Every structure is written in structure tokens, then in C-alpha cells.
Structure 1
Amino acid sequence: MKESDSGPDGVEGLERAILGEEPVFNAAEVAAETGITVDQARRLWRALGFPEHGAATAFNKADTDAVRIVSGLVESGLIDFDLAVTLTRAVGQTMARLADWETTALLHRVEEMSTEEDDGGHSGRVTSAMRMLEEFSAPFEKLLVYVWRRHLAASVARIEALGANEEDLHTTQLSVGFADIVSFTALSNQIGEDRIGDLVELFESRCSDVVAAQRGRVIKSIGDSVLFVNDDPIRAYDTAEGIINVIGRDPRMPDVRLGLATGSVVMRLGDVFGPPVNMAARLTAVARRNRIIIDARTAELLPDDEFETRRLPARPVRGFGLVEPLAVRRH
């Protein structure tokens, strides 16, 4: 590590500014402080997505407080330890992506600040990052709690509205959509790294806006594709059509293909699983550029007086055998 990268004014100083404390405990001491075993402490730490530190002093008081909160929930009987690990993993994975996203989004502004202060070097960026943290962290933490509460309320309402049966609250009927950029691999080899990053960000943000406008939910985005769900097949179609309008019809953006499938899915850990998910993804390989392809179940649910469907030649679809997909458009 270079000298400029360490010390109170370097990366270590920046890390301390974020965490707010110096490390004072090792794993065994965290376990002793919180009343759990070392193995349990390590399981929670791994669930958060962090590497183990062996016997090294790597944990601070905030770490022990967090473990104490989780162990308190287990001791109360509200949840068992396995469920605690599951919830901890969900928090870890979500926050890891958020932290990366936040850092990437703010990096350009930090560099602008260091240039404005006539110091665009490493030390200038660290100083600007420190100032950004001081002014940004507190309001952003409040925003995090607010957004989490809003999404929690929406999730609970969604489960009730979907009418999940009492025997399996994780299973429900949904229309699943898969939007895929055409020839993304070839495209990424043709344009620069900065441009491909901007393109993916614009693709994801436009898709997310369309999905939200149709009261759907983005489940995940994987660079060149977005998986979304909606409890209403008409709204799912409108989402697909909207994505084509804001992506495929924009001459500055690549073409897209959309697949829609409807059926029973399992909702777990913020993700969805089941045949409709796989079918929607497979259908994108069948769709023409800037077209929507649907499965038979979705076609049955779309009103004949609003939509026109056309059966395409049967073809083998991996995992489903011979399938007759349908092209669809509004009258």
C-alpha cells in the first residue's frame, strides 16, 4: 500500500470516518461480549458478506451492538438462529449492492469537488470524500429507513392483495416479464467501457420507471436484462410495451426483446422462482427485435376485444419441450 493510501488522511482514515470507531475486538471477544458462540458470530459475519478475520482485532463496538441485537431477537423466541442468519444475509446482500451503487454514483461528484478545490490528486479526492460523508451520511441514513418502511408496507399489502393462500404464503399467481438487450455481448465489445456502463444504467433506470408506473416490481437486473413481475397481465403487457417505447424506439438505445409468462411462482428472499420465470426468459430468445412474445396462459388472460395474438411455429424450449409461443399486440 502506498503511503498516501494509509494513515489518518488516506483510505484508512476514510474507512474510520465511515465506521466511526477503531477495531477493538476479535471474533472470540465479540462472541464473549454478546453471549453467542464463535461459530455463530462467524456465521452472522459471513451472512453479511464479509471475509473472516481469524484471531485478528477487526471488530468495533458497533459490530458487537449489531450482534447483540440479533441474538436478542433469537433469545426472545421471536425468531430462531437460522432465520436470523437468513435475514442477516438479506441485509448484507442488499446493502452491499447499495453501497457499490452509491459509491459509483457519488464518485463523479467527489472528483468534481476535488477539482473545484484545485486539488484533483489522491489527497484531494480523499478530502472531498470526507466532506461528502460528513454532509451526506446522516440524511441518507434517514432516507434508508423511510424507504425501507415504505417498501415493507407495500410488500405486506402486496401479499394480502395477491390472495396468497394460508397453506403457502410464498406462492402466488403472477405475470413475469423478462426484458433483454439484443446482441449485448457484441455491443459491449464495440463501445467503450464508460459508454457501456452509462447504457446499462440508463436501460435499468428506464425499465424501473416503466415497471413502477404500471404498479409492478423489478425483481432484479443483470446488466443486459431486467426481470419484473405484475399481478395483472394487462399491466404486464403495458410494461413490456412501455419498455420497448423508451428503449427500443429510442435511436440512441439498442433494441430489446420482451417475454411474458403467467402462472404460479414462489417468492423467496426478494426473488421469484418457478416455471413462469424460466419461460419468460426463454421467450426472449424467440422474440423479434422490439416485439413481445407471450405464453399460452398469458394469452388466455388478455381480453380478446383489446388484444390480438398470433401463434408462432412450435419450437423446442429448453426445460419445456415443444412450445407454441404467441406474438401479441393491441388492436
Structure 2
Amino acid sequence: MTEPDPAERLEGAILGEQPLYDAAQVAEKAGVTLDQARRLWRALGFPEHGGATAYTDSDAAALATLVDAVESGLVDFDLAVTLTRAVGTTLARLADWEVSALSQRVDDLVAQAEEPLTRMDVSGRMLAELGPSFERLLIFSWRRHLAAATTRMLALGENEEDRNTVEVTVGFADIVAFTALSNELSRDRIGDLVEKFESRCADVVAGQRGRVIKSIGDSVLFVNDDPIAAYDTAEGIINVIGRDPRMPDVRVGLASGPTVMRLGDVFGPPVNMAARLTAVARRNRIIIDAETAALLPEDQFETRRLPARPVRGFGLVEPVAVRRH
């Protein structure tokens, strides 16, 4: 029998078991049709393996868990697929993020080892020692975020039409001239820059009780229920990014209004407006729309309408410059 390569051994160590079933067999064991198994497997973000023996007992148990949820009557199969896709998409990004963050530490430990070690050796030890703790942290974090999301949903009231539409201030922060900057820096330096940008922005947003909706390399999209807190978030991002001589300049746009929240993302005119306003903002400045200006108390903020200019998707718009008294 051919010995598995190191990557296969590491995968087996992470999973804690070896593949025993092909697609038809794992579907039968889980109690679903082959088509249902394929839909759920794709929703988790995993590639199909055809007739190859590539599925484990845990794979079958995971599919069976989803089937049990459908048979309970609380969700139908399409909703189960939607929830499964949310899990797969989120955890795929989490796994990539963790591996990327830990890879340099793996290299450092290999270099510092007194006896010859490979990256696979160190990776296996790291996963064995840190894995259980991170699993507990994952469940804890999910429960905390689920509690917060449920509370926000209940606060919207019982009107189904308004269940996913909320009045918020949307913020969009991006790095000035990121394309040119990325062409000048090495891959390691640009990676470190993006990581620092995202982490600093996330800290500021959390400190003002907002939520980061997504990060897109050179930009961060966030929301806050309170327009004053959204302004403080924007000002905080400029302070920790744009005013740090080791970091690039940044621009922030804020827009307010009804926003649809679905599938972990946000949609609607305020989202688009906030993104468009960053093109208007000067370096390390905040630009807001008229709706946000109307929500900021006049005794705390000074606003000034700028000359009207065409904004893609909105026609002529008068952006508003803002600062605290």
C-alpha cells in the first residue's frame, strides 16, 4: 500500500479519521438522496469527489444532522441549504485567515528548533495543542454573535416587511491610492499592511458598538445604529490609520437611511452612497451625505455642503463636509 504524502497525513490528523465512503455511500449512510448530499456538500464549499472514497463518518453525521433539522419541520430543505452555505462560506474564510496568520509562526518554530523539524511536524503539533481551545472559542463566539443578532432582530418588531430593513449609518473606509501602493511594496509588506488596516478598523468599530460587515483588502464596510457613534468610528479610523506615519492615508464616507440586511451583508442606497463618497473625500477626511448631516446635532457638529458633483448611480449630489465643534 502506498504511504500517504505528508499533506494527506496532516489532513487525517486534523480530521481525526480516514475516508471510508464514496458519494453514494455517504448519502445512504446519512439518509439523504445523492442529489441532496451533493447540494449540501457544495453549500459547505467543498469539492465533490465523484466515485472516489473521500468521505468520513463525520461527513455522514454532518449531513444526517442537517436532515434531522429538516425532518423536525422547523426548516425546509432549501433553508437548510442556505444556512449550510452561510456556515461554509464563513468558516472557509476563517480557516484561510488562521492558516495565513499562523504560517509565519510555523516557519519561525522550524528555524528555532534544536532538532530537525519540518513544517508538517510543527503544523501538526500546533493544531493538536491549539485546536481544542480554538474549537471552544469558535462555539463561544458563535453563541455571543447569535445572541446579539437575535436581539437586533427582535428590536425591529413584528412587522415582517420591516424584519430585514433597518435605519443605520453605513461607513466605508478605504486606503488612498492602494493600487499604486501595492505595486511598490513586497507581498509580505502589503499583506502586513492590509492585516493591520483591517484589525485596527475592526477594533475602532467594535469600540463604538458598530459592526464590520466585510473587509475587501483596501476597504472596510461597517454599520452603526447611532450616527454620532458612526462619526466617532470614522474619526477613530482616521486617527489610527491616516495619522500614523507608518500607515497610508485613508478616506471615510458615511451615509444614512433604510438598509436591507440579508445573508450577513447589507444592501441599499446608503451602502452605495457611502462607498461613492470616499472618492469625494480628501485624504484623512470624512464626507457624509445630507441624511447623515440632518441626524447630527448642530450643537456638536459643523457641516458644510460642498459643490454638487455627479456621483455614479445617484446623479448630482451635494456631499457634506463635517467636523466636531
Instruction: Using structure 1 for the length normalisation, give the TM-score.
Output: 0.95
1:46 equivalent to 2:42? Answer: yes
Matching residue of 1:3: none
Computed over aligned residues only, the root mean square deviation of the Cα atoms, in angstroms, reads: 1.4
How far apart are the structure 2 equivalents of 1:184 and 1:41? 42
Q: 1:220 to 1:131 in 2, by over 3 A?
A: same
1:209 equivalent to 2:208? Answer: no
1:180 equivalent to 2:171? Answer: no
1:82 equivalent to 2:78? Answer: yes
Structure 2 letter corresponding to 1:93: T
How far apart are the structure 2 equivalents of 1:217 and 1:75? 34
1:107 equivalent to 2:107? Answer: no
Structure 2 letter corresponding to 1:197: G
User: Larger deviation: 242-251 or 27-36?
Assistant: 27-36
How far apart are the structure 2 equivalents of 1:36 and 1:130? 34
Matching residue of 1:222: 216
Q: 1:236 to 1:7 in 2, by over 3 A?
A: farther
Q: Would you say how many aligned residue pairs link Structure 1 and Structure 2?
A: 324
How far apart are the structure 2 equivalents of 1:316 and 1:77? 51
1:94 to 90, 103, 126: 90
CA contact (8 A) 2:156 2:163 kept: no
How far apart are the structure 1 equivalents of 2:246 and 2:138? 33
Instruction: Give the drift of 1:164.
Output: 7.5
Matching residue of 1:329: 323
Q: Secondary structure at the match of 1:258?
A: strand
2:282 to 288, 299, 319: 288
Q: Secondary structure at the match of 2:162?
A: coil
Instruction: Using structure 2 for the length normalisation, give the TM-score.
Output: 0.97
Deviations 1:179-211 (A, max 9, x none): 010000000011111100000000000000000
Instruction: Give the drift of 1:294.
Output: 0.5
Instruction: Give the drift of 1:9.
Output: 6.7
Matching residue of 2:128: 134
Instruction: Give the drift of 1:159.
Output: 2.4
Structure 2 letter corresponding to 1:108: Q
Matching residue of 2:13: 17
Deviations 1:2-58 (A, max 9, x none): xxxx94571111010011111111111111112211111001111111111111111
1:319 equivalent to 2:313? Answer: yes
Q: Secondary structure at the match of 1:78?
A: coil
**1:235-314 → structure 2 map (5 Å cutoff):** 235-314=229-308
Percent identity of equivalent pairs: 71
Instruction: Give the drift of 1:221.
Output: 0.2
Q: Secondary structure at the match of 1:167?
A: helix
CA contact (8 A) 1:178 1:280 kept: yes
CA contact (8 A) 1:7 1:13 kept: no
Structure 2 letter corresponding to 1:49: G
Moved over 6 A (4+): none
How far apart are the structure 2 equivalents of 1:8 and 1:54? 20
How far apart are the structure 2 equivalents of 1:221 and 1:165? 31
Q: Secondary structure at the match of 1:206?
A: helix
1:160 equivalent to 2:144? Answer: no
How far apart are the structure 1 equivalents of 2:45 and 2:279? 34
How far apart are the structure 1 equivalents of 2:281 and 2:153? 31
Q: 1:7 to 1:256 in 2, by over 3 A?
A: farther
Deviations 1:87-126 (A, max 9, x none): 1000001100100111111112222222222456xx6111
Structure 2 letter corresponding to 1:73: A
Q: 1:318 to 1:69 in 2, by over 3 A?
A: same
| Gapped regions of structure 1 (runs ≥ 5) | 1-5
Instruction: Give the drift of 1:174.
Output: 0.6
How far apart are the structure 2 equivalents of 1:64 and 1:304? 60
| Gapped regions of structure 2 (runs ≥ 5) | none
Deviations 1:261-292 (A, max 9, x none): 00011111111111100000000000000010
Q: 1:162 to 1:295 in 2, by over 3 A?
A: farther
User: Larger deviation: 110-119 or 130-139?
Assistant: 110-119
Structure 1 letter corresponding to 2:285: R
2:188 to 172, 185, 194: 194
CA contact (8 A) 1:18 1:133 kept: yes
Structure 1 letter corresponding to 2:262: R
